[in-house]
């Protein structure tokens, strides 16, 4: 069984969300987390059987942070996962490793599983420095964490050049980076983490991706907003 995490970004309006929930209600959801926009979290919790995640979380606890959503608030809603460090937040909101450490710490304090995204840009892949980049992204956060909390964190390997482009690495490339991340954390901290692959996962490539045993699941953007496509992927990940 693989974990399926849907990152629905801001793709859907309220009516589309209601249709999506209706159309997916017969799917087996115990290994499926949907991360809707904050404004639809309640709808998913009320009307669907999916596990529910957030797409982001505040670095700070409850208090004077206009426009933010805290880990404590998410926990009080029934949210059990949160994405941290997505490449769109790294680039659009200039978020840093320091912030990811704060966010992950707040999530762990509130019993929410962080899904921490790492991945290289195309130029970095072309320079053959993918592992240096990914290793740095992991260690800048993990070096500061209490080792006892590390196994609660899920890492999502998402090459930036693959997100929303339809291009994906070869299975061998995914295996290479996934094993690198797992070995790094095992060797440095003596801990095991789950690693997801993300970037243009869809119904046409899921069978090929599923040939990779070392990957523990998928972080899926666009395809997670289309009920038929998500149901198909879910059926392949049971
Ligand atoms: P994509 O997005 O599946 O649309 O490429 C993945 C993501 O951004 O997490």
Classified as helix, coil or strand, 195 is: strand
- Decide whether any atom of ligand 1 lies within 6 Å of the 221 Cβ: yes
Q: How far apart are CA 17 and CA 44, in angstroms?
A: 9
Across the chain, which distance is largest between two alpha carbons, in Å?
A: 48
Residue carrying the six token digits 């529910």: 52
Instruction: Please state whether the predicted TM-score (pTM) of the whole model is above 0.95.
Output: yes
Indicate which atom in ligand 1 lies nearest the CA of residue 88: 8
Q: How far apart are CA 93 and CA 79, in angstroms?
A: 23
The average pLDDT across 174-193 equals 98
Residue carrying the six token digits 């907003």: 225
Helix axis angle for 227-236 and 14-23, nearest 10°, is 40
Angle at 83 between CA 61 and CA 136, to 5 degrees: 95
26 counts as catalytic = no
pLDDT band at 89 (very low <50, low <70, confident <90, very high): very high
**199 alpha carbon to ligand 1 midpoint, in Å?**
5
- Decide whether any atom of ligand 1 lies within 6 Å of the 209 Cβ: no
Q: Could you tell me which residues come within 8 angstroms of residue 179 by beta carbon, excluding any fewer than 6 positions away?
A: 214
Give me the percent of the chain exceeding a pLDDT of 90. 97
pLDDT band at 95 (very low <50, low <70, confident <90, very high): very high
pLDDT of residue 6 exceeding 90: yes
- Decide whether any atom of ligand 1 lies within 6 Å of the 166 Cβ: no
140 counts as catalytic = no
Which residue ranges form the domains of the chain, and what is each CATH number? 3-236 (3.20.20.70)
Beta-carbon-side half-sphere exposure of residue 57 (alpha carbons within 13 Å): 35
- Mean pLDDT score of the chain: 97
**63 alpha carbon to ligand 1 midpoint, in Å?**
32
Give the pLDDT confidence score for residue 27 in this predicted structure: 85
Set 86, 95, 120, 124: catalytic member: 86
Give the pLDDT confidence score for residue 12 in this predicted structure: 98
pLDDT band at 16 (very low <50, low <70, confident <90, very high): very high
**204 alpha carbon to ligand 1 midpoint, in Å?**
15
Set 95, 102, 158, 229: catalytic member: 158
Per-residue pLDDT of 59-80, as tens digits, reads 999 999 999 999 999 999 999 9
Give the pLDDT confidence score for residue 53 in this predicted structure: 98
Indicate which atom in ligand 1 lies nearest the CA of residue 199: 5
Count of beta carbons in the 10 Å neighbourhood of residue 128: 8
Give the pLDDT confidence score for residue 28 in this predicted structure: 84
Per-residue pLDDT of 18-35, as tens digits, reads 999 999 998 888 999 999
Per-residue pLDDT of 108-159, as tens digits, reads 999 999 999 999 999 999 999 999 999 999 999 999 999 999 999 999 999 9
Q: Could you tell me which residues come within 8 angstroms of residue 177 by beta carbon, excluding any fewer than 6 positions away?
A: 130, 131, 134, 157, 169
Give the pLDDT confidence score for residue 29 in this predicted structure: 86
Give the pLDDT confidence score for residue 87 in this predicted structure: 96
DSSP bridge pairs for 195 = 155
> Which residue is closest in CA terms to ligand 1's atom 3?
221
């Amino acid at each position: 069984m693989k974990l399926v995490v849907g990152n629905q970004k801001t793709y859907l309006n309220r009516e589309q969300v209601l249709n999506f929930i209706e159309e997916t209600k017969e799917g087996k959801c115990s290994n499926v987390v949907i991360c809707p926009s904050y404004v639809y979290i309640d709808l998913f919790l009320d009307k669907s059987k999916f596990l529910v995640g957030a797409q982001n979380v505040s670095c700070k606890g409850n208090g004077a942070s206009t426009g933010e959503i805290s880990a404590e608030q998410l926990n009080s809603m029934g949210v059990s996962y949160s994405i941290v460090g997505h490449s769109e937040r790294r680039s659009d909101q200039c978020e840093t490793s320091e912030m990811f450490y704060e966010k992950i710490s707040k999530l762990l304090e509130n019993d929410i599983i962080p899904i921490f995204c790492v991945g290289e840009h195309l130029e970095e892949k072309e320079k053959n420095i993918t592992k240096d980049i990914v290793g740095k992204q992991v260690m800048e956060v993990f070096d500061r964490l209490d080792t006892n909390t590390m196994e609660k964190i899920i890492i999502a390997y998402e090459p930036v050049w693959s997100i929303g482009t339809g291009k994906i690495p070869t299975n061998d490339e995914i295996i290479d980076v996934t094993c690198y991340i797992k070995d790094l954390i095992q060797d440095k901290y003596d801990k095991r983490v789950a690693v997801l692959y993300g970037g243009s996962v869809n119904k046409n490539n899921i069978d090929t991706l599923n040939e990779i045993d070392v990957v523990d699941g998928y972080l899926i953007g666009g395809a997670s907003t289309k009920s038929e496509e998500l149901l198909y992927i879910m059926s392949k990940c049971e």
